[in-house]
Amino acid sequence: MIEVKDIYKSFGDAHVLKGVSATFEKGKTNLIIGQSGSGKTVFLKCLLGLFTPEEGTIAYDGKIYDELSGDEKRNLRQEMGMVFQGSALFDSMTVEGNVMFPMEMFTKQSRPEMQDRVDFVLRRVNLVDAHHKFPSEISGGMQKRVAIARAIVMNPKYLFCDEPNSGLDPKTAILIDNLIQEITEEYDITTVINTHDMNSVMEIGKKIVFLKNGLKEWEGTNKEIFKTDNKAVTDFVYSSELFKKGSPDVYRGKELEARSLKNEKSS
């Protein structure tokens, strides 16, 4: 569980986070949604310790980050996995090299042990034939799978994903969302996902935090999001591609589901 209390983060005059609090639960896919530029990435990077908030605290299973010693912080870092927006795979390494990298850096395991673990996580993300390919030689969806494999290879307690399905076609996006959800539940990870994709919201939005102008505008589940009266949220929800005419097939089921929820709300 991650508890964020009243964090502020600014860059010069730009106040990006203006007092955000939220709780993210274990074994669940927690979503942060909001328009581009609403501070989702900055928020996630605060959770990762890449940015230090000027005010407020972040507690990981009760341990407050600011109160940890250097060593404890380092240990905590190693319990975190991150899937970056563009996958951020190391270009100079093969798929296998990328996934093995954290183990090579931080464990004393033997080569065969590491190899076993790499084979296991790559199989877990349904990637079998790509061990010796370079990131530039595989598709965006496969790159995402490798990024997920690299993020979970050290058995993290916390998994962070920044727009995990941006740049993917809708079908692949759903597969990636489902994969993240399965892994989260299977290994009981506290997962926090940034997205502006309504499809993800409906698919895996167990807990949703809506950011707007550096503040938490709304909080709830994917069932509740269609019932809220909050104008900012409804604007965001119904401006989605999903509710436009001529959306791709994969959306259609979701669209009906959403319509029925909307009707339910208005009736």
Ligand X SMILES: Nc1ncnc2c1ncn2[C@@H]1O[C@H](COP(=O)(O)OP(=O)(O)O)[C@@H](O)[C@H]1O
Choice between 153 and 225, CB closer to other proteins: 153
Q: How far apart are CA 223 and CA 260, in angstroms?
A: 11
The count of chain residues that interact with other proteins, using the rule CB under 8 A, is 21
Residues that bind Mg ion (CB under 5 A): 41
Among 31, 42, 201, 258, binds ligand X (CB under 6 A): 42
Q: How many residues interact with ligand X (rule CB under 6 A)?
A: 11
Q: How far is the CB of 41 from ligand X (least distance, A)?
A: 3
Cβ of residue 63: shortest distance to other proteins, in angstroms? 16
Q: Is the dihedral of CA 89, 93, 94, 100 positive or negative?
A: negative
User: Using the rule CB under 8 A, is 243 a contact of other proteins?
Assistant: no
Among 15, 18, 26, 45, binds other proteins (CB under 8 A): 45
Q: Is 228 in the site for other proteins (CB under 8 A)?
A: no
- Only one of the segments 1-9, 80-88, 235-243, 255-263 lies at the binding site for other proteins (rule: CB under 8 A); that segment is 80-88
**Beta pairing partners, 191:** 29, 159
Please report whether residue 84 would count as binding other proteins according to CB under 8 A.
yes
Long-range contacts of 127-136 (CB under 8 A, 24+ apart): 127/95, 130/95, 131/94, 131/95, 131/96, 132/94, 132/95, 132/96, 133/94, 133/95, 134/91, 134/93, 134/94, 134/95, 135/87, 135/89, 135/90, 135/91, 135/93, 135/95, 135/98, 136/91
Nearer to Mg ion, 190 or 194 (CB): 194
Q: Does 200 bind ligand X (CB under 6 A)?
A: no
C-alpha torsion sign, points 213, 214, 219, 222: positive
Nearer CB in complex with Mg ion: 37/253? 37
Q: How far is the CB of 33 from Mg ion (least distance, A)?
A: 11
